[in-house]
Structure 1
């Protein structure tokens, strides 16, 4: 069965990790300490090779334990590569800190290991990270090749026919490298023999116990429809009695169309309909600190360009340099968003309800250029400083259109659970200006649910290449 294969794979995996760690350490010694790659000076003192390599007796077990702590021996069937690489980095950072503290922290140890190379430790850290990642990539490719060709399969039975069952089957069909083989479905409403994408209904749910006795299964997936949850307790009892690993795939996608967040309330599971990482105080504080620093750097860096733009606006068009417009921000609160004025001065009542159109006569020649290049958005660094906006987030909209879109587009108002941004995931993917509002909201929701500081930096980096020039600006 697959669980036996997984045990063997884990044993091989641990052995390979040990080999990679020894190899990384040996390469680091050869590069930094041996003098063969980087010649050592005459006055450089170093320890004998046996002393360096004796440390492996402690280093290898510690790193294997750290790998286990950071979940690097869990099945790779559907594990994300990015999360796996992040865990490799975490394990190696903790390992580096641990051995640095031991080698250079205590007086007696530091006296004995006074010439232990710090550069070698840093080189080992980099090499071990890279080699462990390369090893895991090779294993991942090998396993996916096996599973795509029908080997190393995990045999699963679905209990209940529902949208959840169809969704699971759809994803398995699209990803043969996962290695899932669905034996069939037990259901009380579909006739026996009914087939969905080559997966057949094998019988009624009452046959579950006898089916488990007659078949070797690796997993049971409970995929009951919402109307059948009254039978859930009995079905779980039968599954637990069989000893087969059981998982529950809830049928609530049309009710909660998102990735829910589970909270443990003293043993009571509480499902949050939407997981918003920025509701965490620490995450919000870190993001705010980055916003303040980024806004100050932006104002300092672009101040010559902003002064030039202000002068051109003043010289070429009568009226104020800046333009403020009411937008809806965090928690549906209105705020004044600042821009460089790119249009002729107009009636505020008309301006609130009109979109800019192609060849709009209200746009000045200077305004057309600064709108195309997003220079008109630079005063929003002040909005970021005072806390109305963030460097990265969903773009804010005018109150009139918020009222319109919240009735027409499902989940539109979710975007107001975070601060609006100067740039965003939708904008770097081309959804700005006169583009699909629905697609823009899909990207905004993805950002809200998957926020991380790294994701923010990625969006800011992409903005440099994709976000400044707005092809849809008029």
Structure 2
């Protein structure tokens, strides 16, 4: 994607800062490790390597670091990361850099290799990159507070999309871009935070010239996209940058992926939130944790199976048809918690508080969610994931898909044993609309760390008042 001159300059400064931090950390790691060896803080086999061996590796360090930082997403603009997320991305980038650097020095037959220096280098670089980015944020925040901006913008539109854009521009201090006003026909009132409607679309050329505007954002609803041609015609004799903000939330609540097909730009509105590597990582976590979980809790599962069998002599497990990824049906396993043939008279119905179909031990299993443990086998088979929207029965889905908008979007990922809706209390006989809202939030904002967070929260939410 083509970037503005300011964005290009910002990335150049950022890359320069990263290279300096990395090189300084590389050299500092040599001196710190040499000091540790000389003071016998850390055992060293053989003599201390000469500084020249470290120095001649600097070009490789620079090339490998820039490649690793780029591949790890450190130079993605337009998104603010909280501190924990920034630390995660930096650690991922520096870890990849160290692996590539070790491989490079090995094939280049460079004799400089030290595990102590490598650990020190990794720590210094990671801390330096995080602190450097935080300092950049403080610097740009102060610049905005002092009224220093590098560029000015006008926003065409006064609706929801325009207001969100106004907030985003003010929140991303690194852009040093000040929204000077909204542009729209007919309405001239205060909109957004300290931003007013300053004119109509016909006034654009005059406002751009008078206020030295650098960028015009077109943030109109879908019904008014035809006005974009008029805006471009009015601005054809100016040098101002024009950016179109598509009204994607009006089309889909999911994350959008930008692509290209033979030179034609495409917006994928209904794609999986996982890339190939993300999907591989999530599947690996599922298999590893499900396998470990089955090993650890096998005594507990054996005890539960024995009690279920002795309670009434019926089957231990209960398989129920559910719908998962891409609408595919599968048999979800549970420890049986209800009487045999419990739905013969009632038909398919949700469990409710005080449900008379439950066995005495089954009530305990459902209230503690222990009846869900056999679904670890579903995870190993690939029918489910550890974390995802809870799967529902096709009988109920046929009713929900018509009465609840966007219900089927939850099937764009694998169903899960636990999910964001469940750990926030929206499970069992609770609001379906709220549950869908939380499920779609999970799909849109998925990350492997989000999955770990939900798994930790699940332990706390196992005793849930809505589990019948």
Normalising by the smaller structure, the TM-score range is: 0.7 to 0.9
Using a 3 Å threshold, how does the CA distance of structure 1 residues 245 and 86 change in structure 2: closer, same or farther? farther
* Structure 1 stretches lacking a partner, 5+ long: none
Deviations 1:358-394 (A, max 9, x none): 2333333322322232211111122233333222221
RMSD: 3.5
Using a 3 Å threshold, how does the CA distance of structure 1 residues 227 and 430 change in structure 2: closer, same or farther? closer
1:185-204 matched pairs, under 5 angstroms: 185-188=182-185, 190-191=186-187, 193-197=188-192, 198-204=194-200
Partner of 1:120: 117
SS of the residue 2:322 aligns to = strand
1:48-63 matched pairs, under 5 angstroms: 48-53=50-55, 55-56=57-58, 59-60=61-62, 63=65
Q: CA deviation at 1:103?
A: 2.8
Moved more, 213-222 or 36-45: 36-45
Q: 2:348 aligns with which of 343, 349, 353?
A: 353
1:1-40 matched pairs, under 5 angstroms: 13=14, 16-34=17-35, 35=37, 39-40=41-42
* Structure 2 stretches lacking a partner, 5+ long: none
Q: Does 1:416 align with 2:416?
A: no
Using a 3 Å threshold, how does the CA distance of structure 1 residues 40 and 413 change in structure 2: closer, same or farther? closer
Partner of 1:312: 307
Deviations 1:89-141 (A, max 9, x none): 454345324432343323xx44xx2x532431232123212221122123223
1-side partners of 2:26 and 2:385: how far apart? 43
Q: 1:46 aligns with which of 30, 45, 48?
A: 48
Using a 3 Å threshold, how does the CA distance of structure 1 residues 219 and 69 change in structure 2: closer, same or farther? farther
2-side partners of 1:331 and 1:132: how far apart? 41
Partner of 1:442: 437
Moved more, 280-289 or 371-380: 280-289
Moved more, 367-376 or 44-53: 44-53
Using a 3 Å threshold, how does the CA distance of structure 1 residues 239 and 89 change in structure 2: closer, same or farther? farther
Using a 3 Å threshold, how does the CA distance of structure 1 residues 66 and 418 change in structure 2: closer, same or farther? closer
Q: CA deviation at 1:171?
A: 5.1
Partner of 1:247: 243
Deviations 1:381-420 (A, max 9, x none): 2223333322222111123322332233211111122221
SS of the residue 1:242 aligns to = coil
Q: CA deviation at 1:174?
A: 7.7
**Count of aligned residue pairs for this structure pair:** 462
Moved more, 407-416 or 178-187: 178-187
Q: CA deviation at 1:304?
A: 0.8
Partner of 1:220: 216
Moved more, 42-51 or 417-426: 42-51
1-side partners of 2:183 and 2:133: how far apart? 37
Partner of 2:320: 325
Kept in 2: contact 1:371–1:473 (CA 8 A): yes
SS of the residue 2:80 aligns to = coil
Moved more, 439-448 or 55-64: 55-64
Partner of 1:206: 202
Q: CA deviation at 1:343?
A: 2.5
Moved more, 50-59 or 353-362: 50-59
Q: CA deviation at 1:344?
A: 2.9
Moved more, 124-133 or 402-411: 402-411
Kept in 1: contact 2:421–2:438 (CA 8 A): yes
Partner of 2:376: 381
Partner of 1:264: 260
Q: CA deviation at 1:266?
A: 0.8
Q: CA deviation at 1:8?
A: 7.6
